[in-house]
């Protein structure tokens, strides 16, 4: 049998793509290497902004999937002397019971008639001429290999990008992601002896010595449990995140007498979106397309959004009987407009943070060279212009940190230019080459101006 849509991976991205297309009556197959009961088990911080559910038309789940309510984020300077509290609609939401949340999404797919092939590993795409026509899979119980054919194949396999890695160069899709754009993470769910007083805030700790290019998080879960972990940027010689957690975080008094509920390591791609996410008969969504917020690493929201937008695009393409790169291009346009431009501009901000010294962060946060408002605006993807009087005030405050202030100014300017560039994302593949050259030039400039030590 040939399916209209084959979705590889039943994570948050894949489930939204499968649900959306099945709702329109398309014949959908969802291929997942985990067993059905394990779908939703993911190494994650488990935090989700409430607006991400609304963006894809989902009602709030009601059966324990949303574990605790979060009112905002508290960010600590490396010396712990300053804490910024960011409270805004976009920074409030929930700590998820990740497993139940994943099962909730999967059940929505099954209720809409999606065929699930669980315990089935996708090995590679089947490419016929210049078009993806299906996938080669392996039944993990029997070891048997077989082909599954479909009109559109969705790569929702997460960081591994099992389809993306094997697409031909003429599709203009990056096959591999540079290590410097990936965070190596380790996290544990731990049962504390006592509930934290501030259980409604997600805590983030910046410290380049403990987490070079990343951060430590302590997020409150129900019943005095916490999700605690850290990520380090995989550039140069980076430390082992589990060692760092045990050495620098779990030694704090709050973890005394705590017990391990669950632990594990995984990767988070924190860069701009893939410049192009479609080819003939293929669409890439979620982590497979690097759709994660580059500064805080949150990817559940953008992955669901991408699955939803890919689904809408596939429905139109299948109805028109044209699943070419040209016909699927609309997905690129939709994503870049709704989240991609913001994501790309935040990648510039990430480059600034990557090479910030702890001393600069301590000073910058204490003396408000960087304000809570800036962090909020950066997080929201809004433009924060340093206005003249404000800049002058900051120059006086920052006289000892002029280099940091200059880099901040360069970053703000580049973020604005990147956003403007993404607003002119090409209307069709024929104009892509020129646009991508502009993108590469902008990011080269950002790297050379912000990341040179």
Ligand X SMILES: Cc1cc2nc3c(=O)[nH]c(=O)nc-3n(C[C@H](O)[C@H](O)[C@H](O)COP(=O)(O)OP(=O)(O)OC[C@H]3O[C@@H](n4cnc5c(N)ncnc54)[C@H](O)[C@@H]3O)c2cc1C
Per CB under 6 A, residues contacting ligand X are 8-14, 31-34, 42-48, 121-122, 156-158, 160, 162, 185, 187, 229, 266-268, 286-287, 292, 297-301, 303
- When the beta carbons of 214 and 281 are compared against ligand X, the nearer one is 214
CA distance from start to end of the chain: 57
- When the beta carbons of 309 and 405 are compared against ligand X, the nearer one is 309
Q: Which of helix, strand or coil describes residue 19?
A: helix
- When the beta carbons of 20 and 82 are compared against ligand X, the nearer one is 20
Strands 72-76, 201-205: pairing kind = parallel
Say if CB 348 and CB 407 are below 8 A apart.
no
The percent helix, strand, coil of the chain (3-state, each to 5) is: 40, 25, 35
Of 380, 446, 378, 439, which Cα lies nearest the Cα of 411?
446
For residue 185, how many other CB atoms are within 10 A of its CB?
A: 24
In degrees, rounded to 5, the angle at the alpha carbon of residue 338 between the alpha carbons of residues 87 and 165 is 110
Q: Which are the contacts of 147, defined by CB distance < 8 A and separation ≥ 6? A: 126, 134, 135, 136, 137
Say if CB 164 and CB 175 are below 8 A apart.
yes
Closest approach of ligand X to the CB of residue 181, in Å:
14
Dihedral of alpha carbons 90, 91, 92, 95, sign: positive
> Partners of 182 in the beta sheet?
269
Say if CB 248 and CB 218 are below 8 A apart.
no
Closest approach of ligand X to the CB of residue 315, in Å:
20
- When the beta carbons of 288 and 354 are compared against ligand X, the nearer one is 288
Of 118, 111, 93, 136, which Cα lies nearest the Cα of 40?
118
Whole-Å CA distances, 324 to 18, 43, 200, 279: 19, 35, 47, 7
- When the beta carbons of 73 and 450 are compared against ligand X, the nearer one is 73
- When the beta carbons of 12 and 207 are compared against ligand X, the nearer one is 12
- When the beta carbons of 125 and 398 are compared against ligand X, the nearer one is 125
Say if CB 31 and CB 117 are below 8 A apart.
yes
- When the beta carbons of 39 and 327 are compared against ligand X, the nearer one is 39
Tell me 286's DSSP state: G
Residue nearest ligand X by beta-carbon distance? 299
Give the whole-angstrom CA distance, residue 440 versus residue 453.
21
Q: Which are the contacts of 206, defined by CB distance < 8 A and separation ≥ 6? A: 75, 76, 77, 78, 215, 358, 361
Closest approach of ligand X to the CB of residue 302, in Å:
7
- When the beta carbons of 153 and 408 are compared against ligand X, the nearer one is 153
Whole-Å CA distances, 20 to 57, 97, 308: 10, 23, 6
Closest approach of ligand X to the CB of residue 49, in Å:
8
Closest approach of ligand X to the CB of residue 3, in Å:
15
89 backbone dihedrals φ, ψ, rounded to 5°: -50, -40
- When the beta carbons of 185 and 323 are compared against ligand X, the nearer one is 185
Say if CB 240 and CB 247 are below 8 A apart.
no
Closest approach of ligand X to the CB of residue 375, in Å:
17
Closest approach of ligand X to the CB of residue 402, in Å:
35
Closest approach of ligand X to the CB of residue 380, in Å:
15
Closest approach of ligand X to the CB of residue 13, in Å:
3
Closest approach of ligand X to the CB of residue 354, in Å:
18
Closest approach of ligand X to the CB of residue 270, in Å:
9
- When the beta carbons of 18 and 376 are compared against ligand X, the nearer one is 18
Query: Residue 343 burial by CB count (10 A; 0-12/13-18/19+): exposed, middle or buried?
Result: buried
């Amino acid at each position: 049998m040939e399916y209209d849509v084959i979705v590889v991976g039943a994570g948050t991205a894949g489930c939204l793509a499968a649900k959306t297309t099945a709702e329109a009556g398309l014949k959908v197959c969802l291929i997942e290497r985990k067993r059905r009961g394990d779908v939703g088990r993911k190494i994650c911080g488990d935090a989700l902004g409430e607006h991400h559910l609304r963006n894809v038309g989902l009602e709030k789940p009601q059966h324990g999937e949303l574990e605790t309510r979060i009112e905002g984020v508290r960010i600590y300077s490396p010396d712990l002397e300053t804490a910024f509290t960011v409270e805004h609609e976009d920074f409030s939401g929930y700590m998820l019971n990740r497993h139940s949340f994943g099962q909730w999404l999967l059940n929505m797919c099954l209720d809409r008639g999606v065929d699930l092939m669980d315990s089935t590993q996708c090995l590679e795409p089947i490419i016929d001429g210049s078009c993806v026509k299906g996938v080669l899979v392996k039944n993990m119980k029997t070891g048997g290999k077989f082909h599954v054919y479909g009109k559109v194949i969705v790569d929702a396999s997460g960081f591994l990008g099992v389809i993306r890695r094997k697409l031909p160069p003429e599709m203009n899709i990056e096959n591999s992601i540079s290590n410097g754009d990936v965070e190596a993470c380790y996290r544990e769910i731990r049962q504390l002896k006592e509930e934290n007083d501030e259980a409604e805030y997600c805590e983030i700790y910046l410290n380049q010595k403990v987490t070079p290019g990343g951060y430590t998080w302590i997020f409150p879960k129900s019943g005095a449990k916490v999700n605690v972990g850290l990520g380090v940027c995989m550039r140069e010689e980076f430390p082992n995140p589990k060692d760092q957690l045990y050495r620098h975080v779990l030694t704090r008094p709050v973890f005394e007498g705590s017990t391990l509920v669950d632990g594990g390591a995984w990767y988070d791609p924190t860069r701009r979106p893939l410049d192009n996410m479609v080819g003939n008969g293929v669409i890439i969504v979620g982590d497979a397309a690097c759709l994660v917020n580059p500064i805080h690493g949150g990817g559940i929201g953008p992955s669901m959004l991408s699955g939803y937008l890919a689904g809408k695009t596939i429905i139109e393409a299948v109805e028109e009987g044209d699943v070419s790169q040209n016909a699927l291009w609309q997905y690129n346009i939709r994503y870049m407009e709704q989240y991609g431009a913001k994501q790309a501009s935040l990648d510039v901000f990430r480059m600034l943070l990557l090479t910030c010294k702890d001393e600069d962060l301590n000073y910058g946060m204490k003396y408000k060279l960087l304000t809570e408002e800036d962090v909020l605006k950066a997080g929201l993807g809004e433009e924060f212009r340093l206005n003249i009087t404000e800049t002058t005030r900051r120059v006086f405050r920052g006289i000892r940190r002029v280099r940091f202030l200059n880099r901040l100014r360069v970053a703000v300017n580049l973020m604005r230019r990147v956003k403007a560039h993404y607003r002119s994302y090409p209307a069709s593949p024929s104009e892509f080459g020129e646009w991508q050259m502009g993108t590469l030039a902008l990011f080269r400039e950002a790297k050379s101006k912000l990341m040179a030590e």
